Amino acid sequence: MNVSSIQKYRPAYHYSPAEGWMNDPNGMVYFGGEYHLFYQYTTHGAKPDFANMHWGHAVSKDLLHWEELSVALKPDDNGAIFSGSVVVDQDNRTGFFNEEGSGLVAIYTNAGNKTIPGKDQVQSIAYSNDNGRTWSKYDGNPVLLPADTADFRDPKVFWYGPSSEWVMTLAVKDRVEFYKSPNLKEWSYASSFGAEVAGSHRGVYECPDLVQIPVDGDPSNTKWVLIVSVGDRNGINDSDPEPPAGGSGIMYFVGEFDGTTFIPDDQVTSEGDIRWVDHGSDCYAAVTWSNMTTETGNPLWLGWMSNWRYANLTPTVDWRGAMTIPRELALETRSGKETLVQRPARELGQLGAPVVSLKEVKASEAQSALSALQLDSYVIRAELDAKESLAFKVRTSADQETVVGYDSGLKELYVDRTRSGQVEFHEDFAARHTAAVAEPTDGKLDLLVYVDRSSVEVFASRGQAVITDLIFPEPSAKGLGLLTEKGDLKLHSLEIHALTSEVR
C-alpha cells in the first residue's frame, strides 16, 4: 500500500497522531507558553487496545501547529492509563516540587488494576518537573478507590478558590461524583449528581467537566456548567434517548456549585429537556484546558472527533482518530435561557488565505465564483437572511458530495453525508443530521463551516447550533458549490479561506 493511500484522509488542520489509535483528549493544560494535549493512545495498530492504553502527548504554542511528543504515561502494575486531567500545582501543595516551585500533576484512571482485589478502576497521580516531557508516578498510588462499581473513571480536577482545595469530578457509571482534596493525594467524597436525573442513561457517564463561565460576557454574573459524555448502548437504560445523531454524545447542565454540590437550574423531566452539546455524530469526550481562559473569561476545549458506534471501523490506515478544532465556550441568553454556545478559537482565524470574498452578492454570482475552486481543506463564512434557505455542497465530485445547509422553513441547520464518499463501513454512517436554530434577533443568519479532508464542523447563529461530522471522500473530490431555489437570493457576505499547508 502506497503512502498516499495511507494518508489520504489525514487532516490538514486537525490534530491526529502519526500512527496508532487515538481517542479521548486528556490532561489538557496551558503551562510554560504551551497548550498541552494528552490523549488516549494505543501505540500499535489502528484499533484500541484498552488493556494497554497509554497517554499520547502533543504541544502547541498557537493552537494551530502541533508537535507530537513521546508517550507521556505507560501502563504499570496498577493498570492501563485511562482518561484524566492535568493541573498546575502552583504552590507545591503536593510536595513534589521545590519549596517555592511549581509543576504539573496528572490525575488519571488506572484500569485493569490487579494490585487491589475487586478494585478494577482506581485513580492515580504523576508529576512532571520539565514542562510535561517526563513524568514520575507517585509512590502512594492509587490515591482513590471505588466503593461499589467497576465504572469509576475520568477524573477532571480544578482548584476551587473559595475553600482553597482541589475538586475532582469523576464519572461513576450512572452519575458524576465530586471529591475534594487539599493536596491531590488524599481525597474525600463530597456529593453526586445524575443518577436520579431524567436525562439520558443510555450509556455510562464518561469524561465529566465542571467549568464556571460568565453569562453574556459579564464577569460579575457566572454560572457553572457540568458537561457529561454519554457512551453508546452500554448504560443503565437502553430505552433512554439517544444523542441527536445516535451513538455517543455530550450533555450539559447549567446551575450552581458551592464547592461541594452541583444544583441544576432546571429539572430534566423529558427528552426535550436534555441539552446536547453537538447535533452531529462526531464530537465526544470534550474537556476544557486548565490553567487558562480566553480574554473574555471563557474556557477553551476540544473533543475526540468520532463516535463509539463505528470508531473502530473508519477507513484510515495505520492511524485512526482526530480531534475537533479548539473551540471557545460561552454562556449566552438565548430564548430566555442560559445556553452553551461554541465558536472556533480565535487563533483559528489565522488559518489560510482568502480565495473568495464577496459582499451583497446574488447566489448565482456566488455559485459562479465557487465553481472555479478545487479545495480539500478550507473555511466558509457566510451571512444571509434568516428567511432564506441555502446549502453548500462541499468535497464534491461526479458521484460524491456533502451538503451543509440551512432550512428556513424548519429553522434547521443540517449536514447530509449520505453521498460523502466511503459510507459503507457502518449502517448508521450514511445519514442526515439536523440542529434547531434559534430565531436571530437581527434577521440575519451566520454560517461558519470548517471543511477538512475527513470532516466538517458547522456553526450557526453565533455558535448556538453545532454539527460535527466525519466524512471520507476521495482526494479528488475537491469541488465546491451552492444550492438554492432562488438564483437571485442575496448573500450579505461570503468568504472562502483555503488552507495551503499542513498544520497538524
> How does pLDDT run across 334-354, given as a tens digit for each residue?
988 999 999 999 999 877 889
Mean pLDDT of 392-404: 98
| Beta carbons of 26 and 55 less than 8 angstroms apart | yes
Mean pLDDT of 201-209: 92
Q: Catalogue the long-range contacts made by 38-46 (C-beta closer than 8 Å, 24 or more residues apart).
A: 38/72, 38/73, 38/86, 38/106, 39/304, 39/323, 40/82, 40/83, 41/17, 41/71, 43/71, 44/20, 45/20, 45/21, 46/19, 46/20, 46/21, 46/316, 46/317, 46/318, 46/319, 46/320
Mean pLDDT of 474-497: 93
Task: Work out the pLDDT band at 3, boundaries 50, 70, 90.
Answer: very low
Dihedral sign for Cα atoms in the order 384, 401, 3, 321: positive
* Residue 36: per-residue pLDDT: 98
Is 24 part of the annotated catalytic residue set? yes
* Residue 233: per-residue pLDDT: 74
Closest by Cα among 133, 152, 130 to 143: 152
Containing 7, the helix (H) or strand (E) segment is helix 3-7
Where do the domains of the chain lie, and which CATH numbers do they carry? 12-346 (2.115.10.20), 351-498 (2.60.120.560)
| pLDDT tens-place string over residues 245-261 | 999 999 999 999 999 99
Task: Work out the pLDDT band at 170, boundaries 50, 70, 90.
Answer: very high
β-pairing, 319-320 vs 20-31, is parallel
Share of the chain above pLDDT 70, in %: 97
Task: Work out the pLDDT band at 66, boundaries 50, 70, 90.
Answer: very high
- Answer whether residue 319 shows pLDDT above 60: yes
In angstroms, the CA 434 to CA 451 distance is 17
- Answer whether residue 171 shows pLDDT above 70: yes
3-state secondary structure 199-242: CCCCCCEEEEEEEEEEECCEEEEEEEEEEEEECCCCCCCCCCCC
DSSP string for residues in 330-379: EEEEETTEEEEEEEE-GGGGGSSEEEEEEEEEEHHHHHHHHHT---SSEE
Mean pLDDT, the chain, rounded, equals 93
| Beta carbons of 279 and 77 less than 8 angstroms apart | no
Place of cell 494505543: 42
- Cell readout for 186 is 488524599
* Residue 162: per-residue pLDDT: 97
| pLDDT tens-place string over residues 48-59 | 999 999 999 999
- Cell readout for 487 is 438564483
| pLDDT tens-place string over residues 256-293 | 999 999 999 988 877 888 999 999 999 999 999 999 98
Task: Work out the pLDDT band at 1, boundaries 50, 70, 90.
Answer: very low
Neighbours of 139 (CB within 10 A): 5
Q: Point out the catalytic residue in the list 24, 232, 376, 452.
A: 24
| pLDDT tens-place string over residues 80-101 | 999 999 999 999 999 999 876 7
Mean pLDDT of 195-215: 89
